[in-house]
Structure 1
């Protein structure tokens, strides 16, 4: 698995679990399972809270610097369809 794919998958998982935990706390629902192992604890107890406190501009700059699906734009058409001048 390429490094940036691994980084994105782990960060998305940790941020999703953190958001679910915060919503469960806020609305009195059952939270997701606690972190298992050192790796999971680091992602959910260090990375997710640190990411949440970063200003949006820094988050955006970081996301733009790392290759991934968020950088894909709409493909440029080779031609203009009839009637779309």
Structure 2
């Protein structure tokens, strides 16, 4: 796994935990455990900075990271004849 793919998967994981924490706090459900070790960086620094980025910059960063959204579709051959 390449570095950018690892960063994408890790950031998605901690963004999901942050979303779960917000929903649990709002609904009074059990919240995720407090961050420990490396999680402190992701949950206390990365996630808040990510949410404060302007939407255009955030979308540009996401678009440049490898992932399932960057499928390389094969060019379709030109169609011949009528559609029906």
TM-score by length of 2: 0.81
- Given the superposition, is the C-alpha separation of residues 83 and 41 from structure 1 closer, same or farther in structure 2, using an over 3 Å criterion? farther
Structure 2's unaligned 5+ residue stretches are none
Residue 79 of structure 1, CA deviation: 5.5
Residue 78 of structure 1, CA deviation: 3.4
Aligned to 1:13: 13
Name the SS for the 1:76 alignment partner: coil
Residue 26 of structure 1, CA deviation: 1.0
Name the SS for the 1:69 alignment partner: coil
Structure 1's unaligned 5+ residue stretches are none
- Are 1:25 and 1:31, in contact at CA under 8 Å, matched by a contact in 2? yes
CA deviations 1:4-51 (Å, max 9, x no partner) are 1110111001100000001111111111122121x1110111101111
- The answer to which structure, 1 or 2, has the higher relative contact order (CA under 8 A, 6+ apart) is 2
Higher relative helix content: 1
Distance 1:19 1:12 in 2: 10
- Given the superposition, is the C-alpha separation of residues 82 and 10 from structure 1 closer, same or farther in structure 2, using an over 3 Å criterion? farther
TM-score by length of 1: 0.80
User: How many residues of Structure 1 are paired with residues of Structure 2 in the alignment?
Assistant: 84
Residue 81 of structure 1, CA deviation: 8.8
Question: Considering only aligned residues, what root-mean-square deviation do their CA atoms show, in Å?
Answer: 2.3
